[in-house]
Chain A
Amino acid sequence: MKRVVITGAGTLNPLGADVAATFAAMREGRGAIGPLTCADVDRLSVQIGAEIRGFDPEAHFPRTRLPLLDRFTQIALVSARQAVAQAGLELAGEAALRAGVVMGTAGGGNTTVDDNYRTVYEQGKNRVHPFVVPRLMHNAAASHISMEFGLKGPAFTVSTACASSNHAMGQALALLRSGMADVMLSGGSEAMLCFGGIKAWEGLRVMARDTCRPFSADRAGMVQGEGGAVFVFETLEHAQARGAAILAEVAGFGMSADAGDIVMPDLDGPVRAMRAALSDARVAPEDIGYVNAHGTGTLANDRVESQALRVVMGAHLDRLPVSSTKSMHGHLIGGTSAVELLACLMALQQGVIAPTINHQAHDPDCVPDPVANTARAAKVDVAMSNAFAFGGLNAVLVLRRTP
């Protein structure tokens, strides 16, 4: 089986407009949760979120192209450009046929849907812009990435709610291992900080009104964010042949379905997904030096995820740093595990573990070491990233440091 490595990373998320800025925020434990600025925010009971500030689409895309690009696609394209530039990737001819893209998103062009429902329902208009469909479709980001970089091989979108990006990257890994492609761009993005997107989440009554405090005894729920990240995955031999710098190895992937409840997490499903990922990476639980938790900050997730980690890690959990960066960038829904993989990269590459900020009180039902509030230096050889979605769909990635 072919080994797969990461040779490029890019991101646009509430913590920063590139990987360096995101790492800096994570190191400093700087959160991006603040007041929401969407239309009709006064009609929302949840008025906070982690927005991407200061992003000017017109600085990145020609005016003629923008009508085709929902915000989730813009985020994906900006991230992909950074990743491709870092990887020094140039694809033409046969190589382009062996390159593809798998992206994750939960809501796709949610903002486009929201805007155009306003047009026809609120404003009573009977005409919408001709590009509503190509803007809102879930595969828009993957398609625009394939178009911009001429990727002509496997290209599709995975939508598994809050695990979308991990599932997407797991698919990219499988395609590369199986020999169906040599290079895959993969990750995910989400942009649903619009009235309808937030109102829908409000309905579930799992949202915090003040901030996100994963694993803290006084946690009050999740906080939504927007953003995404894209990585260049390629086979080790392909990367070596072209002399590319390797950021980390994508060592393993595991997934499972709870086959239980549509929203309540289960213990067994996450346990099986983590064990599958460890086994796939051929590592023991004791080899894991950092876990980026799903860590939503809800009562149910944090407790069940902590129990699942205890089952998988045993006594090693007492020495294992487990942080939730959602405390800083919010829950980016379908894009979240792509941005969270950056925290794993930072741990492996820079030896810095991102903290769980806003942590105020230890919860005996939660992980013993949530890396509370302050980043920590540590030598990490193997890192694990959890994503446990509504619908009981679990996806876990394991990254290994490369010398």
Chain B
Amino acid sequence: MHNCDAIRQSVIEIIAEQALVDPSEVTADKSLADLGLDSLGLVECIFGIEEAFDIAIPFNANTPDMSGIDISSVGSIIAEVEKLIARQAA
């Protein structure tokens, strides 16, 4: 249903929208903190991504390292979203 490029572009646009930066600045190596997003910005991004792809991201702000997903960088977020979409389609 979603091809990888489209997923990547969508996630980047959602993060760029929240961070108020140009999508070109949202590169795979950056963390959300690098882009100036605080913890509220992070949950808004997660909400935006869930809405866009109709998926549930198992993120708990109390245990960000133990949520079972890697959100340490833009690249890892994209990879996690791709996995969740693939799992949902399966």
Contacts of A64 in B (CB 8 A): 18, 20
A43 at interface, CB cutoff 8 A:
no
A131 to B40, CA, bound (A): 8
Of A64, A129, A130, the most chain B CB neighbours within 10 A belong to: A130
Q: Bound complex: CA of A130 vs CA of B46, how far in Å?
A: 9
A67 in contact with B50 (CB, 8 Å):
no
Q: Cβ of B28: which chain A residues have Cβ within 8 Å of it? A: none
Near A by CB (< 8 A), chain B positions 35-50 give 40, 43-44, 46-47, 50
Number of A-B contacts (CB under 8 A): 17
Residue of B nearest to A67 (CB): B44
A127 lies within 8 A of chain B by Cβ: yes
Q: Which of A44-103 contact B (CB under 8 A)?
A: 64, 67-68
Q: What chain B residues lie within 8 Å of A67 (beta carbons)?
A: 44
Q: Is the beta-carbon distance between B51 and A130 smaller than 8 angstroms?
A: no
Mask, B56-79, CB within 8 Å of A = 1, is: 100000000000000000000000
Q: Is B20 a contact of A130 with CB atoms below 8 Å?
A: no
Tell me the bound Cα distance from A67 to B48 in angstroms. Answer: 13
Tell whether, in the assembled complex, residue B47 and residue A127 are in contact, meaning their CB atoms are under 8 Å apart: yes
- 0/1 per residue, A127-143, Cβ < 8 Å to B? 10111000000000000
Chain B binding surface SS class? helix
Which residues of chain A are near B18, meaning CB under 8 Å?
A: 64
- For A126, give the chain B residue with the smallest CB separation: B56
Q: Which residue of B lies closest to A130 (CB)?
A: B43
Q: Which chain B positions have C-beta within 8 A of A127? A: 47, 50-51, 56
> Which residue in chain A gives the minimum CB-CB distance to B45?
A130
Question: Complex Cα distance A64/B38, Å?
Answer: 12
Find residues 8-34 in chain B having any chain A CB closer than 8 Å to their own CB.
18, 20
Q: Which single residue of chain B is at the shortest CB-CB distance from A63?
A: B20
Q: B46 — which chain A residues lie within 8 A by C-beta? A: 130
Residue of A nearest to B61 (CB): A130
Q: Complex formed: what's the CA distance from A67 to B18 in Å?
A: 11
Q: Which residues of B contact A130 (CB under 8 A)?
A: 40, 43-44, 46-47
Give Cα A130–Cα B56 distance, bound, in whole angstroms.
13
- Nearest-Cβ distance from residue A33 to partner chain B, whole angstroms: 38
A residues in contact with B40, CB < 8 Å: 68, 130-131
Question: How many angstroms from the CA of A129 to the CA of B50 in the assembled complex?
Answer: 10
A131, B46: Cα distance in complex, Å: 12
A72 → chain B closest CB, angstroms: 20
- A residues in contact with B47, CB < 8 Å: 127, 129-130
A232 to chain B, nearest CB (A): 29
Q: Chain B residue with minimal CB distance to A125?
A: B51
Minimum CB–CB distance from A68 to chain B (whole Å) comes to 8
A64 to B47, CA, bound (A): 15
Across-interface contacts of B51 in A (CB, < 8 A): 127
Residues of B within 8 A of A131 (CB): 40, 44
Inter-chain CA distance A129–B56, complex, in Å, is 13
Q: List B contacts of A68 (CB < 8 A).
A: 40
- Chain A, residues 20-62, CB within 8 Å of chain B (1/0): the string is 0000000000000000000000000000000000000000000
Q: Smallest CB–CB gap between B22 and chain A, Å?
A: 15
Instruction: Tell me, rounded to whole Å, the shortest Cβ–Cβ distance linking B33 to chain A.
Output: 16
Bound together, the chains give a CA A64 to CA B36 distance in angstroms of 12
CB distance from B6 to the nearest CB of A (A): 21
CA distance A374 to B44 in the complex (A): 51
| New contact pairs (15) apart from A129-B47, A130-B40, CB-CB < 8 Å | A64-B18, A64-B20, A67-B44, A68-B40, A127-B47, A127-B50, A127-B51, A127-B56, A129-B44, A130-B43, A130-B44, A130-B46, A130-B47, A131-B40, A131-B44
User: B residues touching A (Cβ–Cβ < 8 Å)?
Assistant: 18, 20, 40, 43-44, 46-47, 50-51, 56
Closest 4 CB pairs of A and B: A130-B43, A130-B47, A127-B50, A130-B44
17 A-B pairs within 8 Å (CB atoms) are namely A64-B18, A64-B20, A67-B44, A68-B40, A127-B47, A127-B50, A127-B51, A127-B56, A129-B44, A129-B47, A130-B40, A130-B43, A130-B44, A130-B46, A130-B47, A131-B40, A131-B44
